[in-house]
Amino acid sequence: MNRIVERFADLRRQGRKGLVIYIGAGDPDLAATEQLALAFDQVGVDVLELGVPFSDPLADGVVNQLAAQRGLESGTTPAGVLATVARIRASSRIPLVLYIYFNLLHRVGVGRFIADAARAGVDGLLVLDLPPEESENYESLMREAGLCNIYLVAPTTPEDRIELIVKRAAGFVYYVSREGVTGMQARVADTIGEMTAKIRAHTDLPVAIGFGISNAEQAREVARHADAIVVGSAVVSRIAQHGKSPGLVPQVSGFVKTLAQARTVHG
């Protein structure tokens, strides 16, 4: 069974909420990415999203744009990210998703990239700029490889399109709780309950909610509505703060542990 599907099935049986963490791969370098992934597994992260550095990350706010830039500056390539995934996989079963832009798949060849990702130990792809209507053979290639094709739903997505998106998704549905780009916010959106209800009317897939969750209090609030919470920029900003210092892994994983503890909301 796919590790994402398996993890969410375990969470559902236990009545627990999931924690999805996003970091930029190669920020500050790929050795740190590997160390952080293993540390996150130990503190209770359920799914790790690795942002594959790209020169034009249009869906990302400044914090994650800078992480992509640092990843590119450290020499990180898609092939390097997959090699890092293989090293992580040698000692961890943490579900891994690549957060990626379509141009990087297109450059390699969609079929070849998916096969390489599966071989390395990737569990799913979230292709930011690939809408389901234009995915052509992407979904069938993903199914054949045993990978989950994860799609986004936004606050502005009409209900008929929500239905189309979630019926073609696998693993989980990523609900973007705010309009615009990624980034930390002072408060969570007040439409989360309404929108998650609309999504759940059309699918039994878990709903993960992200974009803007900055601290444990917000994580606790969002967990009331979600099957999983997604935290990215708040973690990435701490990676930027500590950079290549010896305290990087303990400092960042310590913060992530507070999020893991906060999401343990039942019901």
From residue 167, give the alpha-carbon distance in Å to each of 164, 200, 204, 241: 5, 11, 10, 40
Cβ proximity of 76 and 25 under 8 Å: yes
Q: Catalytic amino acids?
A: 49, 60
How is residue 158 written in tokens? 């009409």
Cβ proximity of 175 and 212 under 8 Å: no
